[in-house]
Chains A and B, each alone.
Chain A
Amino acid sequence: MTEFYSDTIGLPKTDPRLWRLRTDELGRESWEYLTPQQAANDPPSTFTQWLLQDPKFPQPHPERNKHSPDFSAFDACHNGASFFKLLQEPDSGIFPCQYKGPMFMTIGYVAVNYIAGIEIPEHERIELIRYIVNTAHPVDGGWGLHSVDKSTVFGTVLNYVILRLLGLPKDHPVCAKARSTLLRLGGAIGSPHWGKIWLSALNLYKWEGVNPAPPETWLLPYSLPMHPGRWWVHTRGVYIPVSYLSLVKFSCPMTPLLEELRNEIYTKPFDKINFSKNRNTVCGVDLYYPHSTTLNIANSLVVFYEKYLRNRFIYSLSKKKVYDLIKTELQNTDSLCIAPVNQAFCALVTLIEEGVDSEAFQRLQYRFKDALFHGPQGMTIMGTNGVQTWDCAFAIQYFFVAGLAERPEFYNTIVSAYKFLCHAQFDTECVPGSYRDKRKGAWGFSTKTQGYTVADCTAEAIKAIIMVKNSPVFSEVHHMISSERLFEGIDVLLNLQNIGSFEYGSFATYEKIKAPLAMETLNPAEVFGNIMVEYPYVECTDSSVLGLTYFHKYFDYRKEEIRTRIRIAIEFIKKSQLPDGSWYGSWGICFTYAGMFALEALHTVGETYENSSTVRKGCDFLVSKQMKDGGWGESMKSSELHSYVDSEKSLVVQTAWALIALLFAEYPNKEVIDRGIDLLKNRQEESGEWKFESVEGVFNHSCAIEYPSYRFLFPIKALGMYSRAYETHTL
């Protein structure tokens, strides 16, 4: 069992043998801590055993491994798949994982419970503390935006406050060190916008020092280009409850602990701080995206309006409008909201409006657990309620691509994942008036319950389902989803393509663009870029192409239109290539990720290294980044800097991405590919596992997030593709 920093400093921990993950057919994940008596009659899943390093985990011992002579790519692929199979929850079909990385999610859970006067259960409290302690910076003891970041005010103040609210004393070495770093960075006064909001709600800051988020904007006609209903889904998802809190300027009652905290997190006495002068004070280390002058002027005008011009009638009207929108968000997602960030803000508003004992607040309490995930380092709130749909779609596809899916030993794996995908398709529309597009027929990123359409998840799910439906081996489950339901998915997907003047041919993640790009000048977040409108992404366009080309191959539905849509999407992908041959990735780290998707999409329309200069440039870029040991590795600084930055050593996941790209491109130099494949084989444990090495994903350019299934899925795909291309073996 791994020893963590929390162990070395004697922090208490729970008994890993007593935790159980509960999942259901819709993919909900929640953790339960049992008594020893209960645990004796309730054996853990193999996933739980693996995750929590239970010695009883049935470690595979394949006949051939990296030490065997003639250990083939197919052997490695099969070993990897056999291991990964054990990480599936057979009843629900999902591959659970601790989708962690962001260090600003847990504050919502802890703060809302604190404000509501609800005590967090002891087993959770212990593990929440452990996770934060085990992600502190090794040198200065602070926290950043994400779990492997440099220390920032945002990360440090929020996690410091969490530790204190959970009972860690201020003179605890972890707290003392973190506080020193916080004060070195200038103290909480330099926190970005979201941090100031949480601090204000906790009565640790003053609302006059927070830039305004006027709810009156929701009263404007939707036809106005700047209406917030036209903003990017995540941004407006946060703006709805934040504008309510900004209106009522809620702060919880003062407590002795909060009084202490006020004295701890600032460089000067709380009473001597002029908060209104610090609306735009953000520590330079935190400041990824400085405000535009336009926004600063707009904020000053709104502050003036709030102080002198806002009247009672408008106040009440805005408040009601916003709270109604919160209720529709809760209805559309069964209280999950789009992500834990806005879920926590919505919960706080619900607490204010309805009270701690209300049904609405209780439902939110129940749903908090969907994103509260346990792991060996401790417990944390994930980036969403999970990665269920995305991982299932990839698992099915890659087992097929690798030639594994139809093998009897993987039959149940495929069937379970397929059943989950069939259940995960959206079967209802959103509540009218919630500024949401048609969603029936689409797939989300995580679960049906969460209810937000995602373009590439829809496309990849459709592709995976077609693969299963095309295979006679799985004829018994073909009936579970009809072609008509796939057509509905295609309808939603086609609706997501930008076919107007903006980035013609591209796909965004959640919606087509609805607001002008100029809205980005009003971005208040400081730590995230490109969040005001729905931007197109190379990877989403690539995945959508993969889904559409696959569908187009097997169905006649909207056939001519789909061909046109594919062509214009491919043109967008080509136009998005940077002069050096790379594509910038927005959801994975970084150029290897986007390059893989782009080259796969180009492959589906017949473009290869031999016949396409786009593909040649793309491959040559990737090959130029190959490391001495044959692998590839990228630091998440690539995403921050928009420029390729090597990681400390090569990484399995990015190596797999690069290899998949080169294999799809039919890159002619086999030696380059061989060296990468050898690395994947050598990095694999004898059991078939690939150990975690580094963060795989990213969002909004600056925040890293882990995708634990990637280190199995992409190597399986790369090794399988290589094996089919270069190895002769009997199936």
Chain B
Amino acid sequence: MNRKVAIVTGTNSNLGLNIVFRLIETEDTNVRLTIVVTSRTLPRVQEVINQIKDFYNKSGRVEDLEIDFDYLLVDFTNMVSVLNAYYDINKKYRAINYLFVNAAQGIFDGIDWIGAVKEVFTNPLEAVTNPTYKIQLVGVKSKDDMGLIFQANVFGPYYFISKILPQLTRGKAYIVWISSIMSDPKYLSLNDIELLKTNASYEGSKRLVDLLHLATYKDLKKLGINQYVVQPGIFTSHSFSEYLNFFTYFGMLCLFYLARLLGSPWHNIDGYKAANAPVYVTRLANPNFEKQDVKYGSATSRDGMPYIKTQEIDPTGMSDVFAYIQKKKLEWDEKLKDQIVETRTPI
């Protein structure tokens, strides 16, 4: 039986959970798949595992695929926590086969209702495809004195990848960065890579993810690691529904279906369809032929059929971004170099 290990960050999100579901459906036979669930808190880990078990037991894979679990408690806005996660992985796993970087943190402060209503009436398709009426706070730093969203969605995961590179190499891993449909160049200024001056830090972080992918996938390929960047389209997620009541949630849902009817390919709406591209690139794409410099998107046709649609990524600023991040990585390597000590001697 072949052992495989999949790390899915943000497993407790709708998308993270559905990535695991699709992985279970598409994984090879005669495999024992260890799913490393991540969260910041333990109760969510247990909930997620129960949901995955329920799915697995109904999936028809019980006979030919074995699954088991592990967890990491990690907070990507804290570098010691990231180092903790590396320490745990390094101690336990020789090889990692899948890493889904599903970091989607934003610092939202409610909804600009006036702006939302105005946009819905003047440009309904845009309103539900590229919504700009979520209010985001500006200038929030982490305790590590870094742009919080930059650290949570880009630098923290990147640092983690750099630390577990030996495991990823041995596993000939697939790394999948979850980006977004909202990652246009306009959201990122090269003078503000840490996203401290923008009110669109979430979108800016996804732009950074795109550029970081373009800057690194070739070198990873040389190590036998296949990295992709994907986007899940528009789907229901917890971060948004927090601000909606029953009526506004239902209204949003109606608008989503209307958008699809009007021809938008990106309105997947449910998490399972949204998870199509992330798993496609690991289980169905052929790394010898499929391009890696494009973004794979989960799309749904007007009549509800899921498919994969790719988008070009504008590489402008890629080198500057990568240089900045590499410099910061070296800074943190230096800061953390004495952090790990051998305290727990077994006896």
Chain A residues at the B interface, C-beta cutoff of 8 Å? 2-5, 8, 133-141, 147-148, 150, 180-181, 184, 284-285, 287-290, 375-377, 579, 624, 635, 637, 640-646, 648, 692-694
Contacts and interface: CB of A to CB of B under 8 A. Distances in A.
Contact of A284 (B41, B57, B68, B83): B41
Contact of A692 (B73, B342, B347): B347
Contacts of B347: 2, 375-377, 692
Given A285-B42, A377-B345, A643-B69, A184 B84 contact: no
Interface in B18-55: 34, 40-46, 49, 53
A285 B73 contact: yes
B143 interface: yes
Nearest to A151: B84
Contacts of A135: 343-344
Interface string B145-165: 000000000000000000000
A138 B346 contact: no
B78 interface: yes
B84 A150 contact: yes
Contacts of B42: 284-285, 287-288, 640
Contact of A138 (B69, B81, B92, B343): B343
12 contacts: A4-B345, A5-B342, A134-B343, A137-B343, A138-B342, A140-B83, A285-B73, A290-B43, A637-B70, A640-B42, A642-B46, A692-B347
A375 to B, nearest CB: 8
B340 interface: yes
A138 B86 CA distance: 12
A644 B68 contact: yes
Contacts of A285: 40-42, 73
B114 interface: no
Nearest to A695: B346
B80 A641 contact: no
Given A136-B343, A147-B344, A645 B69 contact: yes
Contacts of B69: 641, 643, 645
Most B CB within 10 A of own CB, among A140, A377, A648: A140
A259 B57 CA distance: 55
B336 to A, nearest CB: 9
Nearest to B53: A643
Interface string B319-333: 000000000000000
B119 interface: no
Contacts of A635: 70
Contact of A645 (B68, B78, B343, B345): B68
B29 to A, nearest CB: 15
A692 B346 CA distance: 7
B240 interface: no
Interface string B226-245: 00000000000000000000
A5 B68 contact: no
Contacts of B46: 640-642
Interface in B266-320: none
Interface of B: 34, 40-46, 49, 53, 57, 66, 68-71, 73, 78, 80-81, 83-84, 87, 91-92, 143, 339-347
A375 B113 CA distance: 64
A301 B274 CA distance: 45
B344 A148 contact: yes
A453 B92 CA distance: 39
Contacts of A288: 42-43
| Residue from A136, A285, A694 with most neighbouring chain B CB atoms (10 Å) | A285
Contacts of B70: 635, 637, 645
Q: Could you say which of B43, B49, B73, B345 has the most chain A C-beta atoms within 10 Å of its C-beta?
A: B345
A685 to B, nearest CB: 14
Contacts of A640: 42, 46
B41 A643 contact: no
A287 B343 contact: no
Contacts of B81: 140, 184
A692 B44 CA distance: 33
Contacts of A284: 40-44
Given A641-B49, A644-B68, A648-B92, A5 B345 contact: yes
Contacts of A624: 66
B346 A694 contact: yes
A2 B41 CA distance: 35
B71 A641 contact: yes
Nearest to B87: A139
Contacts of B78: 184
A640 B41 CA distance: 13
Contacts of A140: 80-81, 83-84, 339
Nearest to A527: B42
Most buried by B among A136, A284, A288, A376: A284
B43 A150 contact: no
Contacts of A147: 344
A579 B91 CA distance: 31
Contacts of B83: 139-140
B146 to A, nearest CB: 14
A290 B341 CA distance: 33
A674 B339 CA distance: 43
B87 A138 contact: yes
Given A4-B345, A184-B78, A641-B49, 11 more contacts: A3-B345, A5-B344, A136-B344, A137-B344, A139-B83, A140-B81, A150-B73, A284-B43, A287-B43, A289-B43, A643-B53
A5 B53 contact: no
Contacts of B84: 137, 139-140, 150
B186 to A, nearest CB: 35
Nearest to A135: B344
A288 B71 CA distance: 14
Contacts of A643: 49, 53, 68-69
A11 to B, nearest CB: 12
Contact of A693 (B44, B66, B341, B346): B346
A2 B345 contact: yes
B92 to A, nearest CB: 5
A646 B83 CA distance: 22
A139 B339 contact: yes
Nearest to A376: B347
B68 A133 contact: no
User: Most chain-B CB neighbours within 10 Å: which of A2, A134, A287, A643?
Assistant: A643
Top 9 A-B pairs, shortest CB-CB distance? A284-B41, A5-B343, A139-B84, A136-B343, A139-B87, A648-B92, A643-B69, A138-B343, A140-B80
A537 B87 CA distance: 34
Contacts of B346: 692-694
A577 to B, nearest CB: 16
Nearest to B46: A641
Contacts of A3: 345
Contacts of A579: 57
A8 B342 CA distance: 10
B143 A138 contact: no
Contacts of B49: 641, 643
Q: Which of B83, B92, B339, B347 has the most CB of A within 10 A?
A: B347
B271 to A, nearest CB: 23
Of the listed residues A137, A289, A376, the one surrounded by the most CB atoms of chain B closer than 10 A to its CB is: A137
A376 B339 CA distance: 25
Contacts of A137: 84, 343-344
B344 A134 contact: yes
A558 to B, nearest CB: 43
A260 B129 CA distance: 54
A359 B46 CA distance: 48
A138 B340 contact: yes
Contacts of A133: 343
A33 B133 CA distance: 70
B43 A641 contact: no
Nearest to B37: A641
B45 A641 contact: yes
Question: Most chain-B CB neighbours within 10 Å: which of A136, A640, A646?
Answer: A646
